[in-house]
Amino acid sequence: MASKRLIKELDMFNREPSSAVVELATVSDEDLFHLRAVLKGPDETAYEGGLFILSISIPSNYPSSPPEIYFQTPCCHPNVNFKTGEICLDLLKTSWTPAYGVVSTLEAVQQLLSAGGEPDSPLNIDLAKLLRAGDLVGAEGLVRLYTRLYAMGR
C-alpha cells in the first residue's frame, strides 16, 4: 500500500509541481522509500534565495505514519536542529493524518520557515534566545548569514 501511494504522489508531483518544492525524487531506483527533496526558501523571508536539501524516509506503514524528514542543508531556524536537521513540527508527529502527503508536508515545512517558528520549544537554542529577547534584527541577520553560507552555494 505504501509503495502504491508513494508512486501516485511522485507521479502527481511530476505532473503538477509545487511552488515550494524544486525537486522531489527517489535517492536510487532500487529504493522507493528514501527520497531527496529540494525546498525553496520562502519569498520575503531571510531564507529567500536559499535551496535546502531534505532527506525523507518513508515508513513501511505510510500513510498511516508520517514520513521522517530532515534538513541535509544546515538551516538556522528555532525549530530545526542545526547539526542533525531534525524538524520540530506537529505534523511530523502528533498531528499527522493520512490526508497529508509528502508534498503537502514539505509545503508545511516551508510554511514553518515563513512563520518564524516557535521559540518556546526550540531545537536551536541560540536563535530562540534572540527571538525571546526581542532581537528580531539579530535573529534575521543570523538566518540570512547561514542561508547564504549553506543554502545559496556561496
Catalytic positions are: 88
Task: Give the residues across from 34 on adjacent strands.
Answer: 57
Q: Are 56 and 69 in contact (CB under 8 A)?
A: yes
C-alpha to C-alpha distance for 143 and 75, rounded to whole angstroms = 8
Vertex 79 angle, CA 123 and 74, to 5°: 85
Sequential DSSP letters for 61-78: TTTTSPPEEEESS---BT
Contacts of 94 (CB under 8 A, 6+ apart): none
